[in-house]
Chains A and B, each alone.
Chain A
Amino acid sequence: MRPALIVPLVVFLGLVSVFMLRLIALGEGETPNRLPSVLIDRPVPAFALPELPGRGRPLRSEDLKGQVSLVNIFGSWCVACLVEHPFLMRIKRLVPIHGIDWRDKAEQGAAWLRRQGDPYDRVGWDPDSRVAIDFGVTGAPETFIVDAAGMIRYKHIGPVTPKVWEETLWPLIERLRRP
């Protein structure tokens, strides 16, 4: 047996171990749907983002105080955002949703909202990830639950589906709303 011919096997086994580790983590309810604990139960970092052109109602950190709200990271370039968007339109009456238009051109973000519908109360424009990095955003879409005191209480990675909403987000929102 020549050593070079074992290389493919070794590389493959390495890859399989990585997958296994990730799957075990997934099975234990770890990532990708939970925030690394550092940011949970921390106050929202202070920020002030500009508005999208023609839309008004920009987003600042102070706006997140006073009631439980969702902060949704989106972008007109993001395919998965398109998937969750109709569902956000349906739940916008149940809880205020604020948007952060991430890594986007302002005109395109605004046009996207005009085209797809606008579920958001306030929308901030974050083209260079200034705020997204503070939030620990890893990709779009991501949705944060912020409580009335302005603390981040939960982070969901990926589209908000009816299942996620019913099983996780909504129960947590109701709990946080109780005095």
Chain B
Amino acid sequence: MMVELGHFALVLALMVAVVQASVPLFGTRRGEAGWVAVAGPAAVVQFLLIACAFGALMHAYIVSDFSVYNVAAHSHTAKPLLYKIAGVWGNHEGSLVLWVLILSMFGMALALAGRTLPPVLQARTLSVQAMVGAGFLLFILFTSNPFQRLDPPAAEGQGLNPLLQDPGLAFHPPLLYLGYVGFSMAFSFAIAALMEGRVDPAWARWVRPWTLAAWVFLTLGTILGSWWAYYELGWGGWWYWDPVENAAFIPWLAGTALLHAAVVVERRDGLKKWTILLAIITFALSLLGTFLVRSGILTSVHAFAADPARGVFVLVLLAVTVGGSLSLFAVRAPALQGGGLFAVVSREGGLLFSSVLLAVAAATVLLGTLYPLLAEALGFGKLSVGAPFFNRTFVPLMIPLLLVMAIGPLLAWKRGEGKTMARRLWPAVLAAGVAGGVVLAWGGSHELAAAGGMGVAAWLGAATLAEWARRVFQNSLSDSWRRAVSLPRAAYGMTLAHGGLAVLVAGVVGATAWEAEKVARLHTGESLELAGYTFILTGLETVAGPNYQAERGTVVVRRNEAVVTTLYPEQRRYTHPPQPTTEAAIHSTGFIDLYVAMGETDESGGVTVRLYSKPFVPWLWYGAGLMALGGIVSLSDRRHRVAPPRGV
């Protein structure tokens, strides 16, 4: 019964979405305030209905209702509760329901929080949001119904891929979707602005919190996915340029470009067309991500739901949404006249340069991801590009970006002073020289690439800190304190995010350059040396988990006779479905990760042990965390809480 109610709620939500997409738009055209006012309540009702549907599906998972096909195919009674719940979005149909749930949640949030907005802009934005929602609801109801019954019911479910039974991954999709779908707000605002034919600083200020929130979620989601791959897949890599990773990373790059371009609209009333285009592209890339993952058009580990018929539907959805908005852009964008002119060397120039570089980087990663498809369609045969392509194209784009990132915030708006800039850059030059010099002195001339990388990271970190210090420090301590407190949160946000990137870059460079690895077959009592640490295998035992059996090793790690830590790597065998997974054990000192993964035991009681010492890997997570924190701090900025004056 509950299941049917859920299905029914989804159908009703579609009806509401159609109303929300059409009535307010006609209202704005005909000047009927009553019609325009439909948008807000409709958005709230649409969310509540989808929440009912989502709740019904989740209930079916929690009580293991195997008369529902979706539950029978993806869940199991022996699964811990957390993974039963995560099972809701661990499959194609359920993940789409989560998608529309989040979409309608953003719609509702705008309806409730957006009272400071002009009603017409709000109604138009909600209408566009509902158009996207209606498309996806149609997709669910016609090709991917999660409420389909199974008759007779299954006695037991078929389980969830054990690789995905992990707390990191349970929350990875919701975060990622909050990011992906969050960019729908910037998109809807952009389309509404094109309809209105007006983009101004007030518009940019209204959009900013939504874009920032989506960016924070996408940052967290991406890094959580990377972290999961790092400790779960068992061979210690943290980024694979896998199509599905790229599907999240490409919109992240575009969204970052959007955040920076929109600053120019907000402060200087310029770069309007570019900002609107980026808003459309960022969401288009999020949709493309959904399409790539769902259609099976690219083969990847993550593409669990590969089905061409669904692919066609998503493609049509993509073509209508993005094709329609780009057409609107082509027709209406000329009317958007930019304000202030600016010199090449200026804050605007820096923001434009970095947003263009970010967009080019997004295009490059997209090209690499789609290359097998394009090559095949153009008759070059079956080809694919791997990590070398991405490393060779992406890194050269990032170097100028990182260099300019340090300079941009030092420049004045409109026209920057070359001399002032050079004077303010000395801490960055000094830090880069010291960092590069230390690496060279310690590692010798073959560490040239690592020295360069660390130099760039130090350059960015020092320039970011120096700029903050310059804005805060005064002659007297109390003055400095006052300035530190009154400095806008957005400035702190930028400092944290840019500083976080510097930490992240140092992490990438260090983790790439100085990783050490050893593989050996060990018996109990034997030991292995790596990077100054001694790893002793002191025990091997069989332990039972809730739905798996595991071989667990005990590895004592010593350094100079002192025990550093004891690690317990596991090799698990899940029962439903039967599949082994590797649970690596990691000890992090905050600077270096000691990583132990274990293979299967052989007849003689020996076991393959793979050891890694991974300096700087923790910095990847710190850096990304700081970036996300920067976004959150910036989100709390006063100007997002205070209503902007009406009719700007």
Which residues of A are in contact with B by a Cβ distance under 8 Å?
1-2, 5-6, 8-9, 12-13, 15-16, 18-23, 26-27, 31-32, 36, 76-77, 79-80, 82-83, 86, 90, 107-108, 111, 114-117, 136, 138-139, 157-158
Contacts and interface: CB of A to CB of B under 8 A. Distances in A.
Contacts, number: 114
Given A8-B329, A20-B315, A138 B322 contact: no
A167 to B, nearest CB: 14
26 contacts: A5-B330, A5-B333, A8-B326, A9-B323, A9-B330, A12-B284, A12-B322, A12-B323, A16-B323, A18-B373, A23-B315, A26-B311, A31-B376, A36-B381, A36-B382, A76-B235, A79-B240, A83-B163, A86-B578, A111-B519, A115-B597, A115-B599, A115-B608, A138-B372, A138-B383, A139-B299
A27 B308 contact: yes
B384 A139 contact: yes
Nearest to A118: B600
Interface of B: 163, 233, 235, 240, 242, 273, 277, 280-281, 284, 291, 295-297, 299-301, 308-309, 311-312, 315, 318-319, 322-323, 326-327, 329-331, 333-334, 370, 372-374, 376-377, 381-384, 519, 521, 571, 578-580, 582, 597-600, 602, 608, 610
A114 B519 CA distance: 11
B299 A158 contact: yes
Given A114-B600, A115-B600, A26 B610 contact: no
For the residues of A in contact with B, the DSSP-based class is helix
B315 A138 contact: no
A26 B599 contact: no
B608 to A, nearest CB: 5
Contact of B277 (A8, A20, A138, A158): A8
A80 B382 contact: no
Contacts of B376: 22, 31
A22 B301 contact: no
Contacts of B384: 138-139
Nearest to A21: B377
Contacts of A36: 381-382
A111 B382 CA distance: 30
Contacts of B330: 1, 5-6, 8-9
Contacts of A31: 376, 382
Contacts of A22: 297, 373, 376-377
Contacts of B326: 8-9, 12
A12 B320 CA distance: 11
A18 B519 contact: no
Given A9-B323, A26-B296, A158-B299, A19 B233 contact: no
A117 B573 CA distance: 12
Given A2-B334, A115-B610, A139-B384, A23 B600 contact: no
A57 B318 CA distance: 51
Contacts of A2: 334
Given A12-B284, A23-B308, 7 more contacts: A9-B327, A13-B323, A18-B373, A20-B315, A23-B297, A26-B297, A36-B382
A150 B317 CA distance: 47
B292 to A, nearest CB: 9
A13 B34 CA distance: 38
A54 B374 CA distance: 42
A153 to B, nearest CB: 19
